[in-house]
Amino acid sequence: MPRSAPQMVLPRMASRTGPVRAVLAALLVAAIGSGCATEAGSDQAEGVREARKAPHAAPPAAPYAGPAGALAAYAANLRRVEAARVAVARRWKLARAPLVAPPPPAVKPVITTRKGFEVEDAEPGLPPVFTTVPVKDRVVFLTMDDGAEKDPQLLRMMSELKIPYSAFLSDYLINDNFGYFRQMQDRGVVLGNHTLHHPYLPGLSYEEQRDEICDQQRKLTKRYGKAPALFRPPFGNYNGDTLRIAKACGVKAVPLWAAEAFPDHMEWREEDQDLHPGDIILTHFRGREEWKGSMPDLVRAVMKVITDKGYAVAKLEDYV
């Protein structure tokens, strides 16, 4: 987003105030709904209360009086909100505040398996396998796999920056601290299935795959109260049995990734080495012991790429 908030042009007052009042009502409802209640609004409310106590006295002058003043107050709110976002970004050492994603679509896009990612003899109705969500908005989706690193700073950082992400979890890596991912879920993160032990699924029998996928599905449901709708096979490897088992266990879709993020570089699936609307970005729960940086370092690096390229991060589950 631009560093300074856009200037709002106030509408010229018409001789009839009905349309203006309708516009103001909509703007003020939006302001209240977004948590942007103003000090001016409080002052005006206080003035009304005082006027009621002394009905013959003239009400005190409000700093934002009349329709034009209310619009000015709303614009001031937007500037304050943007200034707060910039301050949070600086506190977490981001070069720029993350761009704000547009509202999610009222109707989710139809997602099909990416060409070349089909399995042989696939019957209709299997969960689609895809790397990009078909959207026109400049949004991408951030996902984190496995659950090895449990950095409390990551929880705080993502919450304060309001960056949505999805987590795909393997039981053998999260079973020493289920509470960490409960905190993540409480912050709005959706928890997905990444198998019990992170095996190469095509090398397993049907029964072994079923144990890996369905047992993890049951464990996550019991532990976190909701059955995952999304499943990511380890290493991105799967076969027809994988998809049939996932469907039987309640999985609706199999998101893979178009790019992978590390603290010091990006790896790309596409030949143009670039982001595209709807791309899914993969990264992992890793720390300094395995990577050249912490989880906050990783977030700073990937958000610089995303923001510099003019993209916002949206919540995957709002689109799938």
Q: 140-182 pLDDT, tens per residue? A: 999 999 999 999 999 999 999 999 999 999 999 999 999 999 9
Average pLDDT over residues 111-124: 96
Alpha carbons 166 and 60: distance in angstroms, whole number: 51
For residue 138, the 8-state DSSP code is S
Average pLDDT over residues 274-284: 98
Nearest to 233 by CA among 259, 207, 203, 261: 203
Pair 134, 278: CB distance under 8 Å: yes
- Cα dist. 13→18, 65, 192, 300 in Å? 11, 14, 53, 46
Q: What is the residue-averaged pLDDT of the chain? A: 85
- Cα dist. 40→43, 64, 212 in Å? 5, 7, 57
Residue 68's pLDDT is what? Answer: 81
Cα dihedral 9→15→18→23 (10° resolution): 0
* Spatial CB neighbours of 22, under 8 Å, sequence gap ≥ 6: none
* pLDDT of 29 over the 60 cut: no
* pLDDT of 34 over the 80 cut: no
- Cα dist. 303→66, 96, 164 in Å? 41, 9, 12
Backbone angles phi, psi at 129, to 5 degrees: -110, 125
* pLDDT of 91 over the 60 cut: yes
Q: DSSP 3-state assignment of 300?
A: helix
Alpha carbons 313 and 163: distance in angstroms, whole number: 7
256 token code pair: 């893979």
Residue 15's pLDDT is what? Answer: 36
How many C-beta atoms lie closer than 10 Å to residue 40's C-beta? 19
Residue 33's pLDDT is what? Answer: 39
251 token code pair: 């999985």
Question: Strands 190-193 and 166-169: what pairing?
Answer: parallel
Percent of the chain with pLDDT over 70: 80
- Cα dist. 285→150, 233, 281 in Å? 7, 16, 13
Residue 296's pLDDT is what? Answer: 97
Residue 266's H or E segment, with its range, is strand 266-268
Q: What share of the chain is helix, strand, coil (3-state, %, to 5)?
A: 40, 10, 45
Q: How confident is the model at residue 242 (pLDDT cuts 50, 70, 90)?
A: very high
* pLDDT of 236 over the 90 cut: yes
Task: Determine the number of helices (DSSP H) and then strands (DSSP E) in the chain.
Answer: 9, 9
Task: Please name the residue ranges forming H helices in 169-314.
Answer: 171-174, 178-186, 206-224, 240-248, 295-308
Alpha carbons 191 and 165: distance in angstroms, whole number: 10
Residue 60's pLDDT is what? Answer: 47
Residue 30's pLDDT is what? Answer: 41
Alpha carbons 306 and 185: distance in angstroms, whole number: 24
Cα dihedral 100→102→108→110 (10° resolution): -80
Residue 65's pLDDT is what? Answer: 64
Residue 64's pLDDT is what? Answer: 57
Q: Tell me the pTM.
A: 0.79
Average pLDDT over residues 69-76: 85
Q: How confident is the model at residue 63 (pLDDT cuts 50, 70, 90)?
A: low
| Residue found under tokens 């009086």 | 65
Q: How confident is the model at residue 45 (pLDDT cuts 50, 70, 90)?
A: very low
Alpha carbons 278 and 137: distance in angstroms, whole number: 8
